[in-house]
Structure 1
Amino acid sequence: MSRTANAAVPGLLRAALLLLLLVTSCRHAAGAPVANELRCQCLQTLQRINPKLIQSVKVTVPGASCDQTEVVATLKNGQAVCLNPEAPPVKKIIEKMLNKDSSN
Structure 2
Amino acid sequence: MNLKMLTELAVNGEVRELELLSLEGGFYIARVRLEHAELTLVDDVGKPMRIGSTTHLRDLLQRVPPFPCVLVQHCVHDEMCGVREGPIGALRVPFTLSTSF
Same fold (TM over 0.5): no
Higher relative contact order (CA 8 A, sep 6+): 2
TM class, shorter-length: 0.3 to 0.5
Higher helix share: 1
Higher strand share: 2
